[in-house]
Amino acid sequence: MKITNVRTRVFEWKGHTVPPTAHFCSNAMDELWDKGDSMGTFRFHGWTVVEIETDNGLVGLGNVALAPRIAKAIIDQYLTPLLIGQDPFDYEYLWQRMYRSTHAWGRKGIGMAAISGVDIAIWDIMGKAVGKPVFKLLGGRTKEKIPCYASKLYRTDLKDMQEEAQSYLDQGFTAMKMRFGYGPRDGVEGVRANLDSVAAVREVIGEDVDLMLECYMGWNLDYAKRMLPKLERFQPRWLEEPVIADDIDGYAELNQLTSIPISGGEHEFTHYGFRQLLEKRAVSVIQYDTNRVGGITAARKINALAESFSVPVIPHAGQMHNYHLTMASLASPMSEYFPVHDVEIGNELFYYIFKGDPEPVNGFIDLDEETPGLGLELNSDYFDQFNIIE
């Protein structure tokens, strides 16, 4: 089998978007005095869809959710020429070919995200070629079904957050993630507001439901060191991305500071990046996203590394490119799931671009043994809601 064509399209959402409220999620821009709409730079309202065609008529689907127009240009100009005429089953060779040929600029960030989109499509082809779901190619079903946690609870009115948390309990979730809205520049009022939001959610869900806390890189080491002891009483499952991704030593200091596990990784890349995080004990939970980190080829190597360190892997965002890895790895106990599909941040667009992602039942999702590849197809029902750039 040979690759004959690589088609990339950028899907830019023009449909309804839920306007964010102020302070709905702390983030890396918050440290700046003129931060403006600080979460603006973290809204992903575009997506690159990668379709790899083969000489026997198979088409593999991949995706990139960061800087989609740049990702498209990288794939079109630099990666596609490396793939035409190649056998998709040579996935390790092809990954190394893409990684090494773009090494000067592509080993992290959007270069690696572009490689990820191609690699995901390659694994989809391999599954379709042998008539097996991708998780079967990765080692099979390591769990009857995948527990997932409801991930939203962006900071808003506390009563609204409590109603939202209750709705996830009503849907059968036994774990959920909330976002902080305040950070180092918001003074003692911000500290109080952060603590009050956790207390409000805990009041609804009680002590037996896992609660994860998301900072999304919006704090700094000093602020996190002051906040962690104040948060211990809420016994969170983890505190996520308290500092910027480059502050690995900061992560490591925080991860040793209290009983609260520190999680991260959705802004880290390749098994080399995660080797650093693991060797420094910088995180107690790994959260790569397969459509950023290096695709399935890199993610499976990270799963092996994490298993040897006994560090669980709970990939960012859920979605099929992550679910198959989670199903096939004992190192992965659960998945993230975005329960509300109204377009806000843009992570939700996956459900408008693709069909096939499983819906949770009582807080669990399952993958079908009989559906080959990733189990996704393009969802043409919403094509008119996108500007599609060929």
Ligand X SMILES: O=C(O)C(=O)C[C@@H](O)CO
CB of 281 to ligand X, least distance (A): 21
Q: Which residues are the active-site residues? A: 316
CB of 340 to ligand X, least distance (A): 12
Sign, CA dihedral 68-72-74-79, equals positive
Instruction: Give the separation between CA 286 and CA 121, rounded to whole angstroms.
Output: 23
Q: Give the max Cα distance, the chain.
A: 63
Q: Which is nearer to ligand X, 146 or 345 (CB)?
A: 345
CB 178 within 8 A of CB 205: no
Asked if 13 is part of the footprint of ligand X (rule: CB under 6 A), the reply reads no
Residues shown for the chain: 390
Query: Taking CB under 6 A as the rule, which mask of x and - marks residues 38-77 in contact with ligand X?
Result: ----------------------------------------
Question: One-letter amino acid identity for 65?
Answer: A
CB of 345 to ligand X, least distance (A): 4
Minimal CA–CA distance to 120: which of 106, 104, 137, 107?
137
Asked if 296 is part of the footprint of ligand X (rule: CB under 6 A), the reply reads no
Instruction: Give the separation between CA 290 and CA 82, rounded to whole angstroms.
Output: 21
For 89-204, strand residue ranges (E) read 146-151, 175-179
Rounded to the nearest 10 degrees, what angle do helices 320-327 and 295-309 cross at? 40
Q: Which is nearer to ligand X, 122 or 317 (CB)?
A: 317
Q: Which is nearer to ligand X, 164 or 266 (CB)?
A: 266
Asked if 179 is part of the footprint of ligand X (rule: CB under 6 A), the reply reads yes
Asked if 354 is part of the footprint of ligand X (rule: CB under 6 A), the reply reads no
In the three-class reduction of DSSP (H, G, I as helix; E, B as strand; rest coil), residue 41 is classed as helix
Asked if 211 is part of the footprint of ligand X (rule: CB under 6 A), the reply reads no
CB 210 within 8 A of CB 175: yes
Q: Which is nearer to ligand X, 54 or 116 (CB)?
A: 116
Given candidates 31, 214, 348, 357, which one binds ligand X under the rule CB under 6 A?
214
Q: Which is nearer to ligand X, 45 or 136 (CB)?
A: 45
Q: How many residues bind ligand X (CB under 6 A)?
A: 11
Instruction: Give the separation between CA 206 and CA 176, rounded to whole angstroms.
Output: 12
* Contact set for ligand X, span 133-152 (CB under 6 A): 151
Asked if 175 is part of the footprint of ligand X (rule: CB under 6 A), the reply reads no
Q: Which is nearer to ligand X, 149 or 364 (CB)?
A: 149
Instruction: Give the separation between CA 309 and CA 112, rounded to whole angstroms.
Output: 24
Asked if 216 is part of the footprint of ligand X (rule: CB under 6 A), the reply reads yes
Q: Enter the tokens of residue 48.
A: 């690159």
CB 389 within 8 A of CB 359: no
CB of 214 to ligand X, least distance (A): 5
Asked if 237 is part of the footprint of ligand X (rule: CB under 6 A), the reply reads no
Instruction: Give the separation between CA 137 and CA 210, rounded to whole angstroms.
Output: 31
CB of 122 to ligand X, least distance (A): 26
Asked if 345 is part of the footprint of ligand X (rule: CB under 6 A), the reply reads yes
Instruction: Give the separation between CA 335 and CA 156, rounded to whole angstroms.
Output: 24
* Contact set for ligand X, span 266-285 (CB under 6 A): 266
The binding site for ligand X (CB under 6 A) comprises 25, 151, 179, 214, 216, 266, 316-317, 336, 345, 347
